[in-house]
Amino acid sequence: MLIFKRNNIPIFILFVFLFLMTYTFQFYVNKQQMYEQLSNNLYTSNSSMLIAKGDLTWINEDLSKSQYRLFLEEDDTHRYLLKNNGHWSPPMISGDFLNLSERTKTAVIGREMEQYTRTISGVKYISYQTQSYEVIGIMGASFPSSVDYLILLHDPGLQLNDLNTKIVIDSDNPNVMKKILNRATKSDSFISTIDNFQKGFLRTGDAPFLYKFLLLEMYFLLLIGLISILRYGYEKEQKVINTLYMLGISKKNLYFEILIKNSVIIFLSSLISLFIFSGAVIFDSLALSKVLLVMPATILMSWIIIGVFIGRDHLEKKRGVVKR
């Protein structure tokens, strides 16, 4: 049987460092996305602004099963949230974000707009076009931004004007954006796209390609790191496997034990790394959910990579290649 020994400690430590690097990179990516949206009035660089002049029934349709958002822009300050597939939320200072299933008129405002609210029986309200909206949250970051002057509204009884309605479609996935735009233009032939003057720091600095290249390069380095650690551990276990095989233990069982052993090491090292990292960084719910996906994804990839190692060694033995 394969057991945990002292020579597994270096592998464990290497995995801890790999997870710390992964969590740091994931935190950096989440922060970059947040800064981009804050500099772009809560839109991503994938957003598209449309002028709809005809039938607007397509807005109420489920345009995609993936994450996307629809906004109705009234002016530079006020906008209605019409769709929010994927439970997107801007950075919140306090309170809750808009829930589109609510049957009451609600609003989330930037911190600088609090001065325009009024309080009735301990509840804050803000007015727009003679209508009162209950303020359920304050959005913004720890530093001043244009979001401080925004007001997001939810009105379940909103009647859309068919004439020159300004709709903004946004999604974190550019492929989803293309599909939604194609579907919208097919539903309404009078739709026209206009340039969004709010470009954000990525578009302004003309940096999308460099940013994507950085992401690709970092993911590649993390993958190489994972393969190197697994190969190191796999080679370390070869002598034990050969000895136990000569004692009559099936190699199939031995390889399965390697997979289980590596999974346990990855699981424990990811928890310790998360504990160390969370002591220095506060995650929001979305960032934490992404971080928690790293561990099962790494275990799955380790099984695939070790399976490739085993298959490669099996083929080499069939061809008569002797490893020293």
Interval 266-301: pLDDT, tens: 999 988 888 887 765 555 555 566 667 888 889 899
Q: Are 127 and 133 in contact (CB under 8 A)?
A: yes
Q: Is pTM, for the whole model, over 0.75? A: no
Q: Does residue 251 share a domain with residue 130?
A: no
Instruction: Examine the domain organization and report whether 123 and 250 are in the same domain.
Output: no
Range of the domain at 310: 6-33+208-318
Same domain, 91 and 189: yes
Domain count, the chain: 2
Are 189 and 227 contained in the same domain?
no
Q: Which residues of 157-196 are buried (b: 16+ CB within 10 A; e: fewer)?
A: eeeeeeeebebbbbbbbeebbeebbeebeebbeebeeeeb
51 and 187 part of one domain = yes
Are both 252 and 150 inside the same structural domain? no
* Angle at alpha carbon of residue 80, lines to 76 and 86, rounded to 5°: 120
Give the start-end residues of each E strand in the chain. 48-52, 68-73, 78-85, 92-95, 106-110, 118-120, 123-128, 131-139, 151-154, 165-170, 192-194
**Among residues 198, 228, 255, which one ends one of the domains?**
198
- Per residue in 15-61, pLDDT (tens digit) is 999 988 888 888 887 777 777 777 777 888 778 787 776 666 677 77
Same domain, 77 and 158: yes
Per-residue buried b or exposed e for 301-319, using 16+ beta carbons within 10 Å of the residue's own CB:
ebbebbeebbeeeeeeeee
Does any domain span residue 324?
no
CA gap 153, 56 in Å, rounded: 19
Has residue 203 been placed in a domain?
no
Last residue of a domain, one of 180, 198, 216: 198
Within a domain: 1:
no
Residue with tokens 């829930």: 99
